[in-house]
Amino acid sequence: MSALTPNVIDVREIPRSQRHSTILSLFDRLAPGEAFDLVNDHDPVGLLYQFTMLMPGAFSWEYLVQGPEEWRVRIGRN
C-alpha cells in the first residue's frame, strides 16, 4: 500500500462483531506512511476512541466524507 493510493475497506459488508478487529488487523500491517480508506454507514467515532486508547500518536485520522449515509475516513500509520 502507498499513502498516495490507499486501499479501501468497506466495512458495511462485514458483520458488526468483526469490524473493529478487521480494521485493527489491517492497520497493524501498514508500514509508516501508508494508509487505507475506511467506508462505513455511520460515524466511526467509537473506532477513533479505540485507536486513541491503543495507539496514541501512532495513527492519523482524516474524515473524507461525513454522512449522512456514508462516512469515509483515511487512517494512516505515522
3-50 residue pLDDT tens:
455 699 999 989 999 999 999 999 999 999 999 999 999 999 999 999
For residues 43-60, average pLDDT: 97
Question: Which residue range is the domain that position 65 belongs to?
Answer: 7-77
Does the residue 23 lie in any domain?
yes
Q: How far apart are CA 58 and CA 55, in angstroms?
A: 5
Nearest residue to 61 (alpha-carbon basis) of 44, 49, 76: 76
Does the residue 2 lie in any domain?
no
The three-class DSSP label of residue 38 is strand
> Quick one: cell of 25?
488487523
The reported pLDDT for the residue numbered 2 is 44
pLDDT band of residue 51 (cuts 50, 70, 90) is very high
Does the residue 40 lie in any domain?
yes
Residue with cell 486508547: 53
Residue with cell 461525513: 66
Predicted TM-score (pTM) of this structure: 0.90
The reported pLDDT for the residue numbered 6 is 66
Number of independent structural domains in the chain: 1
9 close to 38: Cβ distance less than 8 angstroms:
yes
